[in-house]
Structure 1
Amino acid sequence: MKKLNNTQKALKRMIRDTESKITDEELFLSSAFQKYQTSLAKAATGRSRYGLQVLMEWDSSENADIAYTDNYRIHCNAANSITQSFPSRFLRSQSLTGLTGHEIGHLRYSDFASLQLYLTNMENGSFYPEAPDNLPSGYKANLQDILDAMEEKDNATCLTLSRCAAQFNNILEDIYIEARMCEEYPGTFKQGIQINNLRMSELIPSIQEQIDCGYQPFSIMSNLILSYCRTGNINNRTNYSGEYTDTLSDCMDYIDDALIATQGKERLRASNYLLVLCWNYIQPMVELTRESLKKQDSTQVGDALEDLLRKESGSGSPLPTGKNGGIPKNIPGPTVKSKTPITCDLSGLDPNYRQDAINQAEKVLQEEGGRIELAKTTAVLDGNNPGITYASQYAGSGYENAANDLARILNDVATEKAQNDYEQELTEDLQKSADEIHYGNAHAGIHVTIHRINPVSDFFIKSYQTVVSPLLRTSKRLQSSILPLLKEEAEGGKQKNLLFGKRLDMRALHRKDGGIFTRTRLPDEEQKLSVGLLVDESGSMGWGDRITHARKTAIVLYDFCMSLGIPITIYGHSTDSKGVALYSYAEFDSLDDSDRYRLMDMSARNGNRDGAALRYVAEHLAKRPESQKLLIIISDGQPADCGYSGTEAEADLRGIKNEYRKRGIVIFAAAIGDDKENIRRIYQDGFLDITKLEDLPKNMTQLVKQYLK
């Protein structure tokens, strides 16, 4: 027990050390974090999108996607520059949650069917739902130019307009669905969305910087509209004043109305107005498209246009696509017990809500940047982040829970990694011990290899859960029959009617059998019993479901021993091209709580060189401090390997049994069905019949009672 406690303490130290060394890639790509993000997504979508998953990816390349959804899975790139720019791991986690929330917002609120119809009509030369009217003075000529080009079915104009329209609508749709998500989920999703918006807004170059870098005029105008949509303001550090800001002023009323409109068609109408108002900035792109169409087809030119706009744009994720590129299906959200549909009316929002959201995000960044210790990351935060005083009342529902969730996930990931490292070290130690054992002349030149599954797959866990219920009932019966024996050993008591002793029992002097002595046995706090189980996994064990029966017995014995605090080790053995293959299923010093699942790997394999396997497990058991050691072998009694079979192999096994009996290890062989005679011949008195699993409690009780003295 002392050794186990020391091992557990060492593991806890390993977990603490591992937590500080885990990288963002290890944490965010872990199954625990992906399950956490998926649980958030399912909470926001309810039963309406069964099987929706969040998949984390790691792509730090320059043009990598930030996040997208194919309508069934949400893909988030944890290495994206936005997320990695935040100074603490908690904020990076919140950023990823914001990206998840953004994609859910599209699935729940975007009108994909209308958008598809809108873009198709635009590319074919017509406005949808209708052409703009009541334009500000000075823009009617722009509309007429566009209508003339559409009437002529000018491919360059229509193709360019469709891509620019998609850009405008994506911007408006992004901000609308994020506002909806923030209103409906004012906790973790809201905070993640807000800090992402703040960072994206900061990363949009100023107007003058875009001009100096040679951005397309349309890209500059698009970025201005994006900045205004996100923050209610623009990035104008150089105090630029000119045509771009003048055009933006004319666009603001259309933008403001579109961002709070419940119907997606209103944002399509607003996009039409923005196309007309920004026509002067679109025209240069039309000419570029016209030249490109002379060399490439429409699909190639359209893709090139999208790439150009994506490269020069500060917008985030693309709109979702449906299965096989089709139209995505909207998610209605969690089911509620109400006949009145839930709607989210944004018309009552404060006109300054976008700027207020940015201010809140700045406060969180300021607080978290100073409060949470910086973790290792590949990105460095830009030092231009403004200093804002933290308002302690700002938290938002779920804020503290999110921090606790991340701490729990980090601990889970660190625990899993530390346990895997420990299991690897354990396997190496077991192999070292195997290499140091002298196996005798019968096994000269034979190499022993230790195999141990690490980590354990979900397949074995599910397989175990499928078969375990009736076996646990057998284990409980076994526990109830043996527990009184163990308690008697632990509690002590007076033994009477002994034939020999130092103390007479005056009340027993009349006895004629000589049982007149008594002895008081003191309580024994030390564990007296340890158990080893060795299972033959040769090919012949596949006949008659022997290996299945052996596996079930192993599950029962393992649960029995673990429930009563009895140390147990379980091995399987077969042969391979190198010699003896030993399969470590349960170890005395295992700490990952997965040994019960490892038992499901037990199967009929190749040959069996029983003597070498038996000696290894006996040596393993001999190192235990318990005074009584039981080693149970499950076999069909047919040693079979090159140069190892027949009477010589049986003599080797009997010799090993007698050798370790002198060292305090009692070896019993368990037989199944017709194998009883073979086992009885080889192991003689050390024999246990496990043909009927329901008789195991009775037979094991007799065995333990006989040798637990």
Structure 2
Amino acid sequence: MLVALMTLSFVPSLRRSRRRPVRFDPDRPYQVYTPDYDLEIKASDLDAVLATLPDRRWADRFPEVDPGQLYDLEKDLAARRTRMRSSQAEDSTAFDAADTIVALLIDHSGSMRGQPMLFAARAALVASDLLDSLGAKQEVLGFTTARWKGGQSREKWLADGQPSHPGRLNDLLHIIYCSAGEKLSAQRCADMLRPDLMKENIDGEAIQWAASRLRRRAERQKYLIVLSDGAPVDDSTLLANGDRYLDHHLRHVTSEIEQAGDIRLAAIGISHPVEQYYRQGITISSPEELEEALVQLINRLVHASP
């Protein structure tokens, strides 16, 4: 996310406004120029959705990531569950698993492409197995945008004469890999590795989306864990609203959730200090550390006293 996408050769060249970047106004409320082109889909629908998007050839420049180790990991976890079934059953008595749901929200920005996303998928698969063994429900979600540097939202804004301070100017793409009552599979994790999937990231709205899904659930103990590798970035939005626009909104969203107290919010940052956004933030130095960090975080959260 911290990568300067505008300087990378693989980013599609889209029409630009001739306006200079505007100064960020912290007193101006966050807004969405239009939600008409936002998408919320199941992972099983990714093929159909991504096939309709323009500028797909840039993804051909990136090598495919072999998902084979995800399927191997799934087999290893199943074998481990068989060997350790009794001890895990004892662990599940430490909290009210039937009244607990944990949502994992994974950043799908361009900088997560390749090995970082592979390790994130592995961590999600391990976390899903852990939660299933404990008897807690789970959701695994991903967030990105449909296009680079603004999609149909930005095109509408251009056609409308580029009114000032338009708000968010890209089309959200939110993906459901695993809904409450389901267990994540290696096949669904493999969908995370698509090179044509990961683009820009609008974290604040993604967290609001994940939180709204949790708030519709009946479970009393709700947890939302975010995996991220940088600050929110969408070039089209920042150019038209100021360079702190998405960062400011993310801070506002996390603060509101933490103050409300109905959802326990936490995050793991990959070489990115998420403590600046989340009270319960953990920074790790490399994606390889994700599995262990996520398992430890889940255990600490669900076994902590309310």
The TM-score bracket by the shorter chain reads 0.5 to 0.7
2:274 is the counterpart of 1:686: no
SS at the partner of 1:581? strand
User: Deviation at 1:684?
Assistant: 4.0
Cα distance change on mapping 1:601 and 1:653 into 2, 3 Å: same
SS at the partner of 1:530? strand
2:184 and 2:298 mapped to 1: Cα distance?
25
SS at the partner of 1:487? helix
Aligned residue pairs: how many? 226
Which ranges in structure 1 are unaligned for 5 or more consecutive residues?
Answer: 1-439, 491-525
CA contact (8 A) 2:106 2:226 kept: yes
Q: Which residue of 2 aligns with 1:554?
A: 124
Which ranges in structure 2 are unaligned for 5 or more consecutive residues?
Answer: 1-28, 48-65, 153-170
SS at the partner of 1:443? coil
User: Within 5 A, what are the aligned runs for 1:300-319?
Assistant: none
Q: Which residue of 1 aligns with 2:23?
A: none
User: Within 5 A, what are the aligned runs for 1:183-582?
Assistant: 441-446=30-35, 447-454=37-44, 464-470=70-76, 484=90, 486-489=92-95, 527-542=98-113, 545-576=115-146, 577-578=151-152, 579-582=171-174
TM superposition score normalised by structure 2 = 0.62
CA contact (8 A) 1:634 1:670 kept: yes
CA contact (8 A) 2:208 2:253 kept: yes
Deviation readout 1:572-611 (Å, 9 max, x if unpaired): 1111134010111001155xx7754212101351111111
2:130 and 2:212 mapped to 1: Cα distance?
23
Which has the larger share of helix? 1
TM superposition score normalised by structure 1 = 0.29
2:262 and 2:192 mapped to 1: Cα distance?
28
Cα distance change on mapping 1:612 and 1:481 into 2, 3 Å: farther
Identify which of structures 1 and 2 has the higher relative contact order when contacts are C-alpha pairs closer than 8 Å and 6+ apart: 2
Residue 256 of structure 2 is aligned with which of 659, 684, 687? 659
User: Within 5 A, what are the aligned runs for 1:144-163?
Assistant: none
Residue 224 of structure 2 is aligned with which of 621, 631, 636? 631
User: Deviation at 1:461?
Assistant: 9.3
Which has the larger share of strand? 2
Task: Name the amino acid aligned to 2:188.
Answer: R
1:575 and 1:610 mapped to 2: Cα distance?
11
User: Deviation at 1:557?
Assistant: 1.2
CA contact (8 A) 2:74 2:186 kept: no
CA contact (8 A) 1:575 1:608 kept: yes
Task: Name the amino acid aligned to 1:581.
Answer: L
SS at the partner of 2:199? coil
Deviation readout 1:134-190 (Å, 9 max, x if unpaired): xxxxxxxxxxxxxxxxxxxxxxxxxxxxxxxxxxxxxxxxxxxxxxxxxxxxxxxxx
Task: Name the amino acid aligned to 1:670.
Answer: I
Q: Which has the larger radius of gyration?
A: 1
Deviation readout 1:252-278 (Å, 9 max, x if unpaired): xxxxxxxxxxxxxxxxxxxxxxxxxxx
1:461 and 1:627 mapped to 2: Cα distance?
36
Deviation readout 1:273-323 (Å, 9 max, x if unpaired): xxxxxxxxxxxxxxxxxxxxxxxxxxxxxxxxxxxxxxxxxxxxxxxxxxx
CA contact (8 A) 1:632 1:667 kept: yes
SS at the partner of 1:643? helix
Find runs of 4+ consecutive structure 1 residues off by over 6 angstroms. 460-463, 473-482
Deviation readout 1:355-412 (Å, 9 max, x if unpaired): xxxxxxxxxxxxxxxxxxxxxxxxxxxxxxxxxxxxxxxxxxxxxxxxxxxxxxxxxx
1:687 and 1:602 mapped to 2: Cα distance?
23
1:476 and 1:700 mapped to 2: Cα distance?
21
1:538 and 1:631 mapped to 2: Cα distance?
19
Q: Which residue of 1 aligns with 2:179?
A: 587
1:607 and 1:455 mapped to 2: Cα distance?
20
Task: Name the amino acid aligned to 1:487.
Answer: T
SS at the partner of 2:136? coil
Task: Name the amino acid aligned to 1:563.
Answer: S
User: Deviation at 1:529?
Assistant: 1.2
User: Deviation at 1:682?
Assistant: 2.3
